[in-house]
Amino acid sequence: MPNLRYLMVALALAGLMATGCSSSSSPPSTGPSTDGGSDGSKADAHAADTGVVEGGGVDGGDCAFADFVIGLVNKDTTATATPSTDLGASLEDSQQQSCFASLF
């Protein structure tokens, strides 16, 4: 029986890894900040209200940094957009390729 429990735990972990992250199939609706003036280390009041942390990622989840990057990629790609001064340094990077699956 102990072996079966170990197997179930292992399967659960594998499933979690296969799922990858919280929102890899669709980019976040809120893009990264472009107004600068922050090092991205603290969530502001607006972020607390909406669940979007400063840095642009969705609060929580293993794909926070990936979501931030996808937010940048899908931001405004016209000639008039200005770069984000927030580099997402406060966000956890799970380093999972699957977080970027929606791009390819």
Partner 1 sequence: MRLRTVVGALSFGALAVAPTLAQASSHREAPFITKNPKVDGTDVYAFESYEAGHAGMVTLIANYQPFQDAFAGPNYFQMDPDALYEILIDNNGDGVEDFTFQFQFKTVLGGTKNAGITLPIGPDGGQQSVAVPFYNVGLIPNAAITGNASALNVIETYSVGLVKGPRRGSAAKLLDNPGGGTSFNKPADNVGAKSFGTSASLGSPTAPSPALVSDYAAYAKNFIYSGVSIPGCTAKDATKAQVFVGQRSEPFAVNLGPTFDLIDAPATVVTNGGVAVGGFAAVPNPLAAKSVTTIAIELPRDCIVQSATQPVIGVWSTASVRQARVVNPAATYVEPSHEGGAWTQVSRLGNPLVNEVVIGLPDKDHWNSSEPTGDVANFGKYVEYPTLPAIIDVVFGTDFQPTVFPRTDLVAAFLTGLAPINAFPKGKTVIPAEYIHLNTNTEATVTTGPTPAGSQNRLGAALCFSEGALNTASLTPYAPATSCDPYGFPNGRRPIDDVVDLALDVVEGYLLPSGNPAYNNAVTDGGASTPVFFTDGVDQASVQFDATFPYITTPNQGANGNGT
Nearer residue to partner 1 within complex by CB, 51 or 83: 83
Q: How many residues touch partner 1 (CB under 8 A)?
A: 26
The rounded distance, in Å, linking the Cα atoms of 7 and 33 is: 44
Nearer residue to partner 1 within complex by CB, 7 or 42: 42
Window 31 to 90, contacts with partner 1 (CB under 8 A):
34, 65, 68-70, 72-84, 87-89
User: In sequence order, which residues have a C-beta less than 8 Å from that of residue 59 and are 6 or more positions away?
Assistant: 43, 47, 51, 52, 53
Asked if 17 interacts with partner 1 (CB under 8 A), we say no
- Residue 18's nearest CA partner among 76, 98, 78, 84 is 98
Number of other residues whose CB lies within 10 A of the CB of residue 56: 28
Nearer residue to partner 1 within complex by CB, 21 or 70: 70
Binding residues vs partner 1 (CB under 8 A) = 34, 65, 68-70, 72-84, 87-89, 93, 97, 100, 103-104
